[in-house]
Amino acid sequence: MNEVASPTKASLAEESIHQQIEALAKAAREASVTLANAASQQKDEALRAAAAAIRAGSGDILSANAEDLRLHGEKLSDSMRDRLALDEDRIEAIAKGLEDVAKLPDPVGRVLAEWKRPNELSISRVATPLGVIGIIYESRPNVTADAGGLCLKSGNAAILRSGSESFHSSRAIANCLQAGLIAGGLPGAAIQLIPTTDRAGVGAMLTLAGLIDIIIPRGGKGLIERVQRESRIPVIAHLEGLCHVYVDGAAKPEMARDIVLNSKMRRTGVCGAAETLLVDKRAAQSHLPAILDALAEAGCELRGDAPVCKLDARVIPAVKEDWDTEHLDAILSVKLVDGVEEAIEHIARHGSHHTEAIVTEDAATAERFLSALDSAILMWNASTQYADGGEFGMGAEIGISTGKLHARGPVGAEQLTSYKYVVRGAGQVRP
């Protein structure tokens, strides 16, 4: 390759990508005004029409998916290939997901609060869409429909940037979403897929403050860190879920065993899966053996601190990094602590502020854990695997926010709104 010419070519290409994406974002902003004022019924009709288009277009979606698998399948890990692959059942689940979103209450126009002032001004806080939402994701093509559908429901325009592995599948799905919008009498530009997988496309999106209101990255740590570093637009990020379970001395042994096993092993690849088990040293003899038996039997690799290794020969010594690692696999780090206070300290130092659980029958200990820790979700006597918008009764989610600004925890249609104040008077002027 010509080393002198290529940077120039690259910058020309970047320049043209930037212009292309700016034009697309302008169209999205225009569409967002229509979306913001669309009736609930119209948005739901578009969602149902999109579901129908996905069912009708399943052949095209499967061919596109086969093309993605042909191009990228070999270099992907098993779990990534599994995330990418579609079949009739998965396509039906995508269509059904859109119909479920249609059934949710409309988050826009809700009166969040209402009061009257002594001067008779009547004030209400009313939910409004955010505007234009940029979603940057990796290899799961279903995110196209999930994210596009939630944005539509919440009256926002969506700009979707699919990972290169799932680009053809995402494009086929995005076409169905646009068909749904148009069938519902709404502008097709309200959901647009960035037509290139060039990394410059992400960079261009992140500079379009004023046209894009918020960026939501969905993917690995590398992607999210890049987005947080480069973005000139506010980001709602779903960082890692380094979730903890603390088994207190006052826990019921069987409940502790079941909650730890479920928190770790129900599904190991989800962000609500436990990565570290902290056990009160008072429970080391009474509770821990049965917990380790259950985990080992289920095929979980156990890594412990010295006292845990001493208790159980199946446990291999944990290294320093284990306490800070989201394994997303059948591996659990196990540590003895001196009661709830040391558990709180450990979690505050090593946790990712996602989800933590305590198992105890002692209400005062539980309340101390629930109030002292600053994680998005805190569970008492329940599995960390409940950390999920659906399980919270909030419907579909676009991710679980580990930040504290705007939205925290599951980000569903409601969390994709802002609000405005509407003040009704009778001619009041301020003294």
Residue numbers at the binding site for a second copy (CB under 8 A): 33, 36-37, 115, 117, 121, 123, 128, 130-131, 213-214, 229, 232, 234, 252, 255, 258-259, 261-263, 266, 348, 366, 370-372, 374-383, 385-386, 391-393, 403-406, 408-409, 418-430
Closest distance of CB 305 from a second copy, Å: 25
Handedness of CA 238, 239, 242, 246 (dihedral sign): negative
DSSP letter at 192 equals: E
Q: Are 325 and 242 in contact (CB under 8 A)?
A: yes
The CB-of-327 to a second copy minimum distance in angstroms stands at 19
Q: How far is the CB of 51 from a second copy (least distance, A)?
A: 25
| CA–CA distance, 248 with 284 (Å, rounded to integer) | 10
| CA pair distance 355, 391, nearest whole angstrom | 14
Q: Which is nearer to a second copy, 320 or 349 (CB)?
A: 349
C-beta closer to a second copy: residue 75 or 430: 430
- Residue 302: which H helix or E strand, with range? strand 301-304
> Which residues 6+ apart lie within 8 Å of 4 measured at CB?
none
C-alpha–C-alpha distance, residues 279 and 97, integer Å: 39
User: From the CB of 218, what's the least distance to a second copy, in Å?
Assistant: 18
Cβ atoms of 163 and 171 within 8 Å: the answer is no
Q: Which is nearer to a second copy, 117 or 221 (CB)?
A: 117
Q: How far is the CB of 252 from a second copy (least distance, A)?
A: 7
Please say which residue, 48 or 264, places its beta carbon nearer to a second copy.
264
Q: Quick one: 99 or 391, whose CB is closer to a second copy?
A: 391
How far apart are CB 136 and a second copy at their closest, in Å? 17
Q: Are 387 and 274 in contact (CB under 8 A)?
A: no
Q: Which is nearer to a second copy, 198 or 392 (CB)?
A: 392
Among 157, 160, 129, CA closest to 142: 160
First and final C-alpha spacing in the chain? 74
Closer to a second copy at the Cβ: 16 or 286?
286
Residue 395: closest CA among 100, 49, 46, 42: 100
* Closer residue to a second copy, CB minimum distance, 23 or 423: 423
Q: Which is nearer to a second copy, 221 or 404 (CB)?
A: 404
Least Å distance between CB 170 and a second copy? Answer: 26
Nearer to a second copy, 179 or 212 (CB): 212
Kindly tell me the burial class for residue 146, based on how many C-beta atoms sit within 10 Å of its own C-beta (0-12, 13-18, 19 or more).
Answer: buried
Least distance (Å) between residue 330 CB and a second copy: 17
Distance CA 248, CA 204 (A): 50
Provide the minimum distance between the beta carbon of 282 and a second copy in the complex, in angstroms, as a whole number: 20
Euclidean distance between CA atoms 91 and 173, whole angstroms: 9
Beta strands in 43-153 (DSSP E): 111-116, 122-129, 132-137
Q: Identify the burial level of 305 via C-beta atoms within 10 angstroms of its C-beta, where 0-12 means exposed, 13-18 middle and 19 or more buried.
A: middle
* Least distance from a second copy to the Cβ atom of residue 272, Å: 9
